[in-house]
Chain A
Amino acid sequence: MRNILAIGRREVLSFFVSPVAYFVITGFLLLAGYFFFNYLLVFNVYVARFQGMPYPGGQPTPNLNQFVAEAFYQTLLIVLVFLIPLLTMRVIAEEKRRGTFELLVTSPISVLEIVLGKFLGLAFVIITMVVLAACFPLMLAIYGDPEVLPLFSGLLGVTLCALGFASIGMAVSAFTENQIVAGISSMVVLLLLYVIQSPAEAMGNTVGAAILNYLSPVAQVRDMLRGVISISSLVYFGSMIALGLFLSTRALEAYRWR
């Protein structure tokens, strides 16, 4: 445990001494803020139109949760697809390139401890990022009258999804020495995962379609955005994180035995 903490601490330090974490967090908040602004504006127009209708029957009543919070959280997922690889691309690839991997591996700590420590460092940066972005739903809660529970469960969904993405990104980084290769490959993998359920509709009512739907992080987060935290989604994100950690460990062990 002490080794994991030592690695994690060093990782966080290196994120915040270099400009990487600041740029990624700032970029994330900037994009999040812009989307939030946009959804609020659209919501305003919709409310005005709704009130102008003499008989609004059949039209959904505008509500903040569905029109702003849900749309906002869903957009954050696609932003994460592009920003998480920028955080993860260096974590392991850079250690290999500058030779510090040799130091870690010849120290009395296990590869699993190295991987867990690095993930802990990433998780710290990601949670910081999501907590800062929570200022937007907080504004809704202060100035509007949304249901509060879905705001929290949605935030949890976004965090779990980000951690899952980070774990996959780290695994990709463990397979290469080149940061750019790691960054691009993780972006491709995550984008593919993001759109994985698109052919499901055309496949109709088949097992394949069900699998693709289950594999989609967007579909998994959707319930959470509506305030439902299901075991199935928790298992899904838990497995995604575990898979990334497992692949990272394997890649690093194989790196020495090639």
Chain B
Amino acid sequence: MIEVSGLSKHYGDYIAVHSASFSAAKGEIVGFLGPNGAGKTTTMRMLSTYLPPSAGSARIAGFDVVTQSDQVRRNIGYLPENPPLYGEMRVDEYLYFVGRIKGLPESQLASRVAEVIERCFLADARKKLCQHLSRGYRQRVGLAQAIIHNPAVIILDEPTSGLDPRQIIDIRKLIGSLAQEHTVLLSTHILPEVQTICSKVVIINRGRTVLESSLADLIQNRSLEQAFLECVSSDEAVTASF
């Protein structure tokens, strides 16, 4: 579903992502880990077609992000780090709008909006203005917006950051429930989160992918924390060993 090979993004001399490669199969939830500034957001932006890569290629559901970006955009749901909400719109108005620009036919619009409202626990907020929502609700509306057109691949940039423990649990449940029909790539730096919901882990450090492994293999004889620290503290050595 997601195939990334040699993906790079350079801003002049600054290298944000250098030759990142990994893949994700249908139905997998992939945890995308790395310290702050490692290049997680840039990579996700390239996968979502927001940023054009400087080199390398990425395919989403079989379509190339540069040459077939229109098909890619039909097949992804993307939640950026800050949910892209219009403060002056009500939650249901907003979801109708997103459904339309994502290409949902008018006949399915009402039922899809109702479905994501139920799925993301937004029933009591559907008539509220987005600017009056709490952080937790904003995040849930962001998630609803990402899944409304039932995309094959869902890309979530730190979906649980800034939420209280209760909300984190709800969101995790929700993401877990997406796994059957969708492939999910989610970035985070909360390790226990990966342990509870992900089936696969990709670690990126200073713009390079330093590890790609199934969660079970990774934590066979060490904790996830140990594995993560090994990767980010001596990524050169680790890269060599892979």
Contact of B80 with A105 in the complex, beta carbons under 8 Å: no
Q: Which residues of A contact B236 (CB under 8 A)?
A: none
- Total contacts A to B, CB within 8 angstroms? 69
Contact of B52 with A14 in the complex, beta carbons under 8 Å: no
Q: Which of A1-60 touch B at CB < 8 Å? A: 2-3, 6-7, 9-10, 13-14, 17-18
B118 within 8 A of A: no
A228 within 8 A of B: no
State the CA gap A220–B242 with chains docked (Å): 71
Q: Which of B86-101 touch A at CB < 8 Å? A: 86-89, 93, 97-98, 100-101
Q: State how many residues of chain B have any CB contact under 8 Å with chain A.
A: 28
- Give the segment of B29-37, B71-79, B187-195 that binds chain A: B71-79
Among B51, B76, B88, B97, which residue has its beta carbon within 8 angstroms of that of A6?
B97
State the CA gap A82–B90 with chains docked (Å): 31
- Give the segment of A68-76, A106-114, A158-166, A234-242 that binds chain B: A106-114
Contact of B101 with A3 in the complex, beta carbons under 8 Å: yes
Contact with B along A107-149 (1 / 0, CB 8 A): 1110000000000000000000000000000000000000000
B62 within 8 A of A: no
B59 within 8 A of A: no
Closest to A6 in B: B100
Contact of A103 with B145 in the complex, beta carbons under 8 Å: yes
Contact of B97 with A106 in the complex, beta carbons under 8 Å: no
B181 within 8 A of A: no
Give the 8 A-B CB pairs with smallest separation, nearest first.
A103-B84, A6-B100, A108-B73, A17-B88, A100-B84, A107-B101, A106-B48, A108-B74
Chain A positions within 8 Å of B, measured between CB atoms, are 2-3, 6-7, 9-10, 13-14, 17-18, 98-109, 256-257
Chain B positions within 8 Å of A, measured between CB atoms, are 45, 48-52, 70, 73-74, 76, 78, 80, 82-89, 93, 97-98, 100-103, 145
Q: Can you report 25 A-B residue pairs in the complex whose CB atoms are below 8 A from each other? A: A6-B97, A7-B101, A10-B89, A10-B97, A13-B88, A14-B86, A17-B89, A18-B88, A98-B85, A98-B86, A98-B87, A99-B83, A100-B85, A101-B84, A102-B78, A103-B80, A103-B98, A104-B101, A105-B49, A106-B49, A106-B50, A107-B73, A107-B98, A108-B73, A256-B50
